[in-house]
Structure 1
Amino acid sequence: MIKNRFRKRLPIVAGTLLGSVGLSAHAQSNVTLYGVVDSGILYTSKTLNPTTGQNAGHQFSLLTGGLTPSLFGLKGNEDLGGGMKAIFALESGIDMTNGGLNDSNGNLFGRQAWVGIDSRFGTVKGGVQLSPFVLSLIASDPRGASYFGSGVPIYTGAVFVTGAFNSNSISYTSPRIAGFQGSALLALGGIAGNFQAGRQYSASVDYTYGPLLITASMYDGNAGGTAATTPIPSTVAFTGRTIGASYQYDALTVKAVFINLKVAGSFDNRVYGGGLSYRFTPVTTVDAGVWYTSDGNDTNNHSILAATGLTYSLSKATLLYGQFGYVDNHGKMDTGLSTNGALFGVAGTTFATAVGIRHLF
């Protein structure tokens, strides 16, 4: 037990040390405040009643994160010399409809909260971060991982934010060599005496050759661990595999992807996706994508999702967007059209549209 006199001194010493650290960081580090605010209107021809599982009818709603998530964050680096830098990021999701937290694991900095070292030998990070599996999915998504009508609601509807926001994780990303780059992540469960509880790992490799990108990745995670206490489920036990490709020719980009998301005893979803985007003018881009999902455990459970969108840039920081999507669910499949506002769908055909504005700062 610490004696009283040491207890009295401890706040003074701690305050002095923290003050010194703060002054040093302020003097030497490069810190950037950044963010995205994205809001719009969502219409769905059918809406899931969570109590009955049936159609509750069409719905108009204010939408947060229709194209990309709304967020704010801090990122920074410090030059350590010899080509080495200390780096960090803190990032929080924002719900534009009520000012609360959203598009994260439910915590204040639930999107990113990590510190690391970047050098010519690669990058090492520790904290809450995206897995190589999710980064691979983002790179190969035909609609640029839009939060409406893309692989994002398919993924989130299956495993929530597991793999997206990994707590207790350590990662390494190699430098790019002859077009190849590898990345690996291990998330520790944090439970004494039980290494398997909450243990998650992921790895990826990608290859670039001019306008061509080929990416492959895997994910394997267990339930439990200390991260199981996050407000949004982030330790769903599942295995994931993906391989995708992207090719850019002038203003045209074409992408294709295969994804396997498997939860033992529940579903074994195989997702086949493809699409393209075309930049008609420097300020106008149109894209479209199609995803077919089939449950390997029961092929009666399947869905097809198709979506298209247009963005018009008012400036370098501000754009308007309009998106239209269609999904047809069969059996027990419940694919939704929007990560926010329509994550789960109902049986049969549903149409939806989202229009909004996004600003970067």
Structure 2
Amino acid sequence: MKRSIFAVALLGSVPAISYAQSSVTLYGIVDASILYTSKTPNSSGQNAGKTIALADAGLSPSLFGISGTEDLGGGLKTLFKIESGFNVANGGINDSNGNFFGRQAWVALDGNFGEVKAGLQFSPFVNSIWESDAREFANFGDIQSIYGGSVFLTGVHNSNAISYTSPKIAQLQGSVMLALGGEAGNFQAGRQYAASLKYDNGSLMVNAAFYDGNSGGTVNTPIPSTQAFIGRTLGALYRFGTLAVKAVFVNFHVAGAANNYVYGGGIDYFVLPQLNVNGAAWFTSDHNHTANHSLLTALGVEYFLSKRTTLYTQVGAVSNHGAANTGLSVSYTGIFFGVPGTTTVGADVGIRHAF
């Protein structure tokens, strides 16, 4: 739903002033699936058995938000977005940091100089991983499970953040972000920063990003989002018409814990305008303890009934070795995690509607 608002002000004898055009948009996604997994971790990480359940957000997060823009003239405009994730299965908050507008809440100024944004936002680091992920952050059988299992939501939903994204120059675009911890007398507590650089000529895309975050600060989120870690990623994408081939490397170096190296790759192929097939594999190894490693593979098929409604099915498997506990799905109670030392297979079938 979109509406345009025009305003004209009369101030005494001052001539009428015509204000710039503004628009406000309400948008969202509702996604539900039937999920099966052969193993499900309990609170202690042990196998609690098979699961067959109605799962929220099998393909992508269920969410709603409000975005807006105002044209200030001269190529300058202001933008804002507030976005909340919810659980379609029970109506609760989900796919966010646990706060009501826990996905995004920011205001920005955009012009020929680029874009400056302030508020809760995605980091350049996580945006870069998404761009080079063959399954585009599917909630089942995707690198999201590896990301969350390594550092929870740190780097995804960044509170108290200020970022700058440059205009595109010679096919290059850069972005930097600083998130302030807000703790008096201790600037380093909860401080997070990230940077990315992307080259995209329409056929070839190559990107790189860096993330450095400290624990602490005054950020209050029910799901941890200030875990101390250093992250690096390098990704690539090549488009052959309706076929895209993608590859990604990510390093999650978590303070006092794992040093996970992730190598992934896959394809995203529109067989028909209404039919998409995508598949990928990710190998994760803890370089602190190389016996801890996992292999996650998945295949997805999406059929578009319309521009807004999609039917989908996904199948996947994850093989964990040592203490590795990579999960298969982030859509159910075993969020992010799997059962160590075992192989889990699963599948889901669902429907996604965007408005």
1:295 aligns with 286
Tell whether 2:351 aligns with 1:357: yes
Deviation of the 1:28 alpha carbon: 5.0
d(CA) in 2 for partners of 1:118 and 1:219? 24
Q: Tell me if structure 1 keeps the 8 A contact 2:281–2:297.
A: yes
Root mean square deviation of aligned Cα: 1.3
1:6 aligns with none
The DSSP-based 3-state class of the residue aligned with 2:328 is strand
Tell whether 2:308 aligns with 1:317: yes
Tell whether 2:25 aligns with 1:39: no
1:97 aligns with 89
2:14 aligns with none
Which of 154, 158, 163 aligns to 1:171? It is 163
Q: Give runs of aligned pairs for residues 138-287 of structure 1, distance below 5 A.
A: 138-227=130-219, 229-287=220-278
1:72 aligns with 64
Give, as a single letter, the amino acid of the residue that structure 1 aligns with 2:162. Answer: I
Give, as a single letter, the amino acid of the residue that structure 1 aligns with 2:354. Answer: L
With normalisation by structure 2, the TM-score equals 0.93
Superposed CA offset, 1:144-201 (max 9, x none): 1111111111101211111110000000000000000000000000011000000000
Give, as a single letter, the amino acid of the residue that structure 1 aligns with 2:261. Answer: R
2:42 aligns with 49
The DSSP-based 3-state class of the residue aligned with 1:155 is helix
The DSSP-based 3-state class of the residue aligned with 1:265 is coil
More helix by share: 1
Give, as a single letter, the amino acid of the residue that structure 2 aligns with 1:43. Answer: Y
1:114 aligns with 106
d(CA) in 1 for partners of 2:315 and 2:28? 26
Deviation of the 1:243 alpha carbon: 0.2
Superposed CA offset, 1:276-333 (max 9, x none): 0111111111111000000000000000000001000111100000000000000110
Deviation of the 1:210 alpha carbon: 2.5
The DSSP-based 3-state class of the residue aligned with 1:335 is coil
Give, as a single letter, the amino acid of the residue that structure 1 aligns with 2:352. Answer: R
Large movers: runs of 4+ above 4 Å = none
Q: Percent identity?
A: 59
The DSSP-based 3-state class of the residue aligned with 1:338 is coil
Q: Tell me if structure 1 keeps the 8 A contact 2:20–2:71.
A: no
Matched residue count: 335
The DSSP-based 3-state class of the residue aligned with 1:158 is helix
d(CA) in 2 for partners of 1:30 and 1:81? 14
Give, as a single letter, the amino acid of the residue that structure 1 aligns with 2:344. Answer: T
d(CA) in 2 for partners of 1:152 and 1:65? 13
Give, as a single letter, the amino acid of the residue that structure 2 aligns with 1:160. Answer: F
With normalisation by structure 1, the TM-score equals 0.91
Q: Tell me if structure 1 keeps the 8 A contact 2:197–2:207.
A: yes
1:326 aligns with 317
